[in-house]
Structure 1
């Protein structure tokens, strides 16, 4: 009787490990000379991709994993395999960054994605490439990316993007992706980071009197000018978060609880109270809201580059100009450290100097 046909077992298998967030981590399973070894590729895919973009990202990640598997199989069969050195340097940092974003759930997800797009543009423009092995991420390249951000972006955006970039790099360092330390010791940005348009009290009054095109966006933006709340916190704000004249909210960015006394402007702007679990401001997307604000600012005759975050900047600056101390402002903004509030001092001092210089000249 003929026995069953024997098939050669794969010496290297690509396997998946389910993470706590439901995504899948890819790793290689080696079995040779009676010994089992594993190599975690630091690559992740979505278990249930929904959009075409997510499906395409999964496809590219799996293709990368298959290429690594093929290479490891060849190394194993030729006796050249050295697992001790495989965790460092070979992974594509761009692919790793995208995989990091795919499983990221915090409020600054949009900023992380925008920073990755800028890094891709930087690689294409400076190095004519779409990928970067982790071993090639050097301090000099990182400084080059920082300079690129300063040349291409305005205001405090370069610092914001660079902070997210370092966050991803440091995560990769903890996973032993880099054969050398990839970050420069000191990075200094040009002075004058707070270039986003800041509205003074008169300009906020002009906006209140001008036609907006979307009443909800108008009320929500003016509410931000009177409370300092971020877009994400206002968009998620429900009536159950407002009790009489006070607001209680868990901030999306810091996860800290913010308790804020509402002034008369803010109380008028929220309108008639709805059901506890309904939104106070049913806003459209961030991009749609910013576009409406841009048109609204133009109609009001204000020649400044105003974004949604300008409302928070304006609130902070006007509080300082009115004479209140930075510790009070830090508490109003819900900052976890007073250092985050320091950046508003310079622009507030400039406003005070402008106010003093605006006094009429005396003839005597």
Structure 2
């Protein structure tokens, strides 16, 4: 990396001193709050020599990757932030996530991936010991730009790829949570992410929610399959809205008889922890396997891995002539969309799905509305009046 001391003329006649960074085609600046005064100013030479000496000192630190003197301690001012190196704080924070029983293993892995990306950015900018008190809007904007345009996923070293929009948005969300935690700890005064304009943030990608129609469900039920249990469990979920994580642990004791008939009663859904009770209609009961004397604690479906289920379903979908991208989660979208299309209200369908926010259910209502609009338009085209 090349660092050059440059100056910029000001209207006052003085010149502002800044560092010009250049590496691998990228250029950025850092203004030092140091100035060169005009020659006619008293003691101009002494003042300018002191400013340039300080600028050269800072330049040397930047070349070594040092943001501040590591031996410096916080001052005595009551409002002064503690000097915490960002990378060190991240290490402590992620260790807390790992040890906390409140976070799942997958959540920890997501946080750790975000931390690795931030560290990669600090290395990219040659600022591995950057202080948290220095994190501002410009730093966050640079980090988000690095994530989108420079960083490559290292899971496949032979074929590094840029991250998807969904993954980028996930890392941005985790970054915001971590900075909020730093503010709560008193390490930062405020979260600079909120100073970004909307266009500077990573937008959330609208997820595609493919669902199966009645005819597609019938076609899939009759198509050849490489695993009958997978197909039965998938179709069962199309009429109950259960996730893969819930159906693969579903036991016979979870299917109970109540006054209105059989229901699936799950004490706590794997993802949300919410309790749900789902009535079983004739379509759902059709795909339940025979119990054959199974004990209450035995599993209803002997499931393979999620990836194996998805491969099986994609093959069946092709055989059935379905062009949609079918995965196991398509069953949940199918249940939600068909339930609303059949006249179910948002609140009830949301309860059956175990949603914690009505906005999650609203997405499916929007899909149903698009279908209704298409139907109305087809009527208009038919009569041509």
Pairing 1:184–2:194 present = yes
**Any idea what the Cα deviations from partners look like across 1:148-201, whole Å, max 9, x if unmatched?**
79x9536x7766665455445444544455465143267577687131322222
Cα deviation code 1:235-266 (max 9, x no counterpart):
22111111131111111222121111111122
1:153 corresponds in structure 2 to 164
Partner of 2:312: 292
* Matches for 1:284-363 after TM superposition, within 5 Å: 284-359=304-379, 361-362=382-383
Deviates more, 1:277-286 or 1:248-257: 277-286
Give the secondary-structure state (helix, strand or coil) at the position aligned to 2:236: helix
How far apart, in 2, do the equivalents of 1:355 and 1:145 lie? 45
Identify the match of residue 245 of structure 2 among 211, 216, 232.
232
Once the two structures are TM-superposed, the CA of residue 338 in structure 1 deviates from its matched residue by 1.7
Partner of 1:140: 141
Cα offsets for 1:21-57 (capped at 9, x unmatched): xxxxxxxxxxxxxxxxxxxxxxxxxxxxxxxxxxxxx
**Larger Cα-atom Rg:** 2
Bigger relative contact order, structure 1 or 2 (CA pairs below 8 A, ≥6 apart): 1
Matched, 1:254 2:269: no
Supply the distance in 2 between the matched residues of 1:132 and 1:326 (Cα, whole angstroms): 50
Show structure 2 runs of 5+ residues with no match. 1-68, 152-161
Matching of residues 1-364 of structure 1 within 5 Å: 75=71, 80-82=72-74, 88-92=84-88, 95=91, 98-99=94-95, 102-103=98-99, 109-110=105-106, 113-114=109-110, 117=113, 120=116, 128=124, 135=132, 136=135, 138-141=139-142, 144=145, 152-153=163-164, 162-164=172-174, 166-176=176-186, 178=188, 180-184=190-194, 193-244=206-257, 245-249=262-266, 250-273=268-291, 274-359=294-379, 361-362=382-383
Shift in alpha-carbon separation, 1:92–1:347, aligned structure 2, 3 A: farther
Shift of 1:347: 1.2
Counterpart contact for 1:196–1:305, Cα < 8 Å: no
Q: Cα–Cα, structure 1 residues 143 and 293, in superposed 2: closer, same or farther, change >3 Å?
A: same
Q: Distance in 1 between matches of 2:129 and 2:287?
A: 49
> 2:236–2:284: 8 Å Cα contact kept in structure 1?
yes
* 8 Å CA contact 1:212, 1:292 repeated in 2: yes
* Partners of 1:260 and 1:332 within 8 A in 2: yes
* Matched residue SS, 1:248: strand
**Secondary structure at 2:264 match in 1:** strand
**CA 1:91 to 1:282, structure 2 compared with 1: closer, same or farther past 3 Å?**
same
CA shift, 1:296, in A, is 2.6
Count of residues paired in the alignment: 286
CA contact (8 A) 2:249 2:299 kept: yes
The CA distance in 2 between the partners of 1:321 and 1:307, in whole Å, is 21
Which 5+ residue runs of structure 1 have no aligned equivalent?
Answer: 1-71
